[in-house]
Amino acid sequence: MSLRTPFSFTASTDTIIFLFIHIPEGDLVQDENELSSILSVINERQQVSYEELSDALKGMGIDTSELTQALLTLESRKLVASRSSGGIMMYYMLQQEAPRNVLIVEDDRNISKLMALSIGKDFAITQVYDGAEAMSEIKKSKPDLVVLDLMLPNKDGLEICQEIKSNSALAKTIVILVSAMDPTSNRFKGIKYGADYYIKKPFDPQEMRGLVTIFLKKKGKRFDPLIDLPSEARISEEVERSLSGTTRNTIGTLHIEHLDDYARRLSAGSAMFIIRLVSQLMQDIIKDKSIFLGFLNSDSFVVAGVREDVNAAMEELRREFSAILPFVLQDEGYKPISLDLDGMFDANEIPRLALDYKESSIDAIKQRRDEILRDRGARTKEIGSYTYDELRRLFAGDRFDVKITRDSSGVRLQVGKQNPEEGQQ
């Protein structure tokens, strides 16, 4: 018997290809004490990176080869799930409970079948093929998660998504949009209407299965693709790696300019949508690249990697954002989309949103790092984990008026008070 793990996938209406890695069962770690130790670390933290696991287990004599095999075993037993997030492989502790309900809404029956196969047998799956029928089924069965195509007969997926998210009885329903359509306008509409994730066709079955599993079975707080990006501890590790020069040769910050003013003029919800949009665009762009993406719980992200790869990703991100932004502003009620972006801002009605990436000087970071150590009164050169305030200081962030917090009621955006001397910009 062998464990069959999907490795890659190409799908269109006419072509479907599954490739599998065959891992003989005998090659998987069978030492239950090792498995228990690894599972204990994941359970304690609920979500943990491969590097964090490796560091935590060094004292137990578990090397990387054994760890990799052990993680495959734990995933095959459905005790943990993995997902690449911000250039880091993350492992999530799963809850063992009754099967959750998943509704697939896809009018192409072959694609619908592939979606069901990708999601797997751990969920109670229902399939419908018509938009009007879908809404009726959703109201009746109240599924935990809906995988939703955009192009459907009788009612399109965006309309269904909007109805789900505006219905208080369905407020906790997770929506994953899947579409082969041009994402320029549809991605922003999906996120605006409350979709939890947007996947482009042809879809990767591992991504589909991983997202559904983590959304529905992750232990602890509900999974959020933005907030569950690498944060303090993992950003701290990446900073130290960049300072040592052993892995990536550049690190910097991606900043959404004027987001605080945008939130004041429109709403915190509108600004939160912009952050989610930028986050998903960036995650799509770096999905198959060795680029680290961390979130500073504000209007900024930390980006690290090989300089030419990072610069290319930033350029692609700016193009994508510039293409989508006119649709966003039109949706907010500003000027016809036929006008160019500069024309839309000329009236000074709204702040000029833009993306700004600044590469940080390694020497300057080292100098600020030494200052932080002195302020801490540290006697060693080991920094440990930085706080968010220290990370902002490292990257010379002198104004962070946007702050993201998370509690049992969800993710919230707060905007600091505007400096009276600045006036309305």
H helices, E strands: number in the chain: 15, 16
Burial 285-309 (b: 16+ CB within 10 A, else e): bbeeeebbbbbbbbbbbbbbbeeeb
> What pLDDT is attached to residue 94?
93
- In 20-156, alpha helices (H): 32-45, 50-57, 64-76, 109-119, 131-141
> What pLDDT is attached to residue 192?
83
Distance separating alpha carbons of residues 147 and 300, to the nearest angstrom: 30
Whose CA is closest to 117, among 104, 130, 107, 135? 104
* Kind plus residue range of the DSSP H or E element containing 331: helix 307-331
Phi/psi of residue 314, nearest 5 degrees? -65, -40
Our CA dihedral for 199, 187, 357, 340, rounded to 10 degrees, sits at 150
Beta bridge partners of 198: 177
Q: Judging by DSSP bridges, how do beta strands 250-257 and 47-49 pair with one another? A: unpaired
Distance separating alpha carbons of residues 76 and 369, to the nearest angstrom: 42
* Kind plus residue range of the DSSP H or E element containing 20: strand 16-24
Q: How many CB atoms lie within 10 A of CB 423?
A: 7
Angle made by CA atoms 86, 92, 96, in degrees to the nearest 5 = 155
Burial class (CB in 10 A: 0-12, 13-18, 19+), 103: buried
The owner of tokens 């093929």 is 129
Contacts (Cβ under 8 Å, ≥6 apart) of 25 = 1, 2, 3
Distance separating alpha carbons of residues 56 and 58, to the nearest angstrom: 6
> What pLDDT is attached to residue 129?
96
Domains of the chain: 2-93 (1.10.10.10), 101-217 (3.40.50.2300), 232-415 (3.30.70)
From first to last of its 425 residues, the chain has per-residue pLDDT tens of 333 344 334 444 443 444 333 334 444 445 788 889 899 989 888 888 888 888 888 778 788 888 999 999 999 999 999 988 777 888 999 988 778 999 999 999 999 999 999 998 889 999 999 999 999 999 999 999 999 998 899 999 999 999 999 999 998 899 999 987 666 677 778 888 889 998 888 888 988 999 999 999 998 888 888 778 887 888 888 888 888 766 678 899 999 999 988 888 888 888 888 998 999 899 888 887 889 999 888 889 999 988 999 999 999 999 999 988 888 888 777 755 455 555 555 555 677 899 999 999 888 998 998 888 888 875 556 677 888 888 888 887 655 678 887 766 667 788 875 544 443 33
